[in-house]
Amino acid sequence: MNAEAERRAAWRASLAVGLAVSAYGVSFGALAVASGLDIWQACVLSLVMFSGGSQFALIGVLASGGTAAGPAAIAGATLLGLRNGLYAIRVSPIIGPGWAKRLLAGHLTIDESTAVATAQPTLASQRVGFWATGAIIYVGWNLMTLLGAVLGDLLGDVRQFGLDAAAGAAFLGLVWPRLRALQPVAVAVGSAVVAAVLLPALPQGVPVLLAALVAVVVGVPNLFGRRVAGEEGA
C-alpha cells in the first residue's frame, strides 16, 4: 500500500469506530440523568472526564449510593481511568514532541483512539488514526450525551423504560472484548463473586473497589496466564 492509501484506510477505521462509539453517548446521557445528575453535570463529565468506563462507573455508584458514596464513586472512576495512563505511554511516541499537541492528545487518549492508532502500519497513518478517532468521538460523544440527557430528563421514571437495566448491559459491552483469554475470564468471574458476596455487607461503592483486588491477586503472580519470553524472574 502507498502512503496515501494507508492514510485513507486509517480515516475509514476512525470513522467506523468513531460513529459507533459516539452513538452510545446517548445511553450515557440518559443514564446520568436517571442517576440524579442534571443535564449540565452529565455534559461536564463527557467534556472533561471523557472516558466511557469511568463515566459509567461514577454515575453507577452515585445512582445507588447518592453523594454519601462520593469517595467510592471517585475511586472507582479513577481506577478505571488507570488504563488511559498506559495508553498514553504507548501512543506518546506516535504523537511526537510539542507540549500543546501532547496536552490535547492527552485529553483524547481513550480505548478507541489508542486501538485505531496502534492498528495502523506506519507512523503517518497511526497519527491519522489517533487524531481522527479521538476528534470524531470527542465531538460525537459530547453531542450524544447532551441529547441523551435531554431525552432522559423528559422520560421521567427510568425504571419503566428499563434504563436501570441498560447500565449493566453497558458494562458488559465494555468488558466483553477483553475476555479473550483464560486469565481475564478468571478475574471477571472472581471479582463478580466477590462483589455479590460483599454487596449486602458493606456501604455502596466499597464492594466494587474490593473486587478490584482480585486483579492484583491474579495479575501479580500471573495466575492462569501465559508465560511471556524473557519474563522469568519478573
Partner 1 sequence: MTIWQIILLASILVLGIKLLGYLVPPRVLEAPTAARTAELTTVALLSALIVVQTIGAGQGIIIDARLPALAVAAGLFALRVPFILVIVAAAATAAGLRALGWG
Interacting residues with partner 1 between 136 and 175 (CB under 8 A): 159-175
Q: In angstroms, how far is the first alpha carbon of the chain from the final one?
A: 40
Give 3-state DSSP helix, strand, coil % of the chain, rounded to 5: 80, 0, 20
Q: With binding defined as CB under 8 A, does residue 82 bind partner 1?
A: yes
88 binds partner 1 (CB under 8 A): yes
Among 4-12, 117-125, 133-141, 204-212, the segment contacting partner 1 (CB under 8 A): 204-212
Q: Does 118 bind partner 1 (CB under 8 A)?
A: no
184 lies in the site for partner 1, by CB under 8 A: yes
User: Hunting for cell 440524579 — which residue is that?
Assistant: 36
Q: Which CB sits closer to partner 1, 5 or 197?
A: 197
Stretch touching partner 1 by CB under 8 A, among 5-13, 125-133, 135-143, 203-211: 203-211
Task: Give min distance, CB of 124 to partner 1, in A.
Answer: 19
60 binds partner 1 (CB under 8 A): yes
What radius of gyration do the chain's Cα atoms show? 19
Among residues 75, 100, 53, 27, the alpha carbon closest in space to that of 207 is found at: 75
Shortest spacing between CB 63 and partner 1, in angstroms: 8
Looking at the chain, list the stretches that DSSP marks H as alpha helix, in order from N- to C-terminal side: 3-23, 25-34, 39-44, 52-65, 70-95, 99-107, 111-118, 123-155, 163-175, 182-198, 206-211, 213-219
**Contact with partner 1 (CB under 8 A) among 6, 17, 33, 109:** 109
* Cα–Cα distance measured from residue 83 to residue 132, given in angstroms and rounded to the nearest whole number: 21
Q: Which stretch binds partner 1 (CB under 8 A): 8-16, 106-114, 117-125, 126-134?
A: 106-114
Cβ neighbours of 182 (radius 10 Å) = 12
Which range touches partner 1 (CB under 8 A), out of 5-13, 115-123, 130-138, 183-191? 183-191
Q: Does 16 bind partner 1 (CB under 8 A)?
A: no
Contact 180, 50 (CB under 8 A): no
Q: State which of residues 102, 118, 124, 147 lies at the interface with partner 1 (CB under 8 A).
A: 102
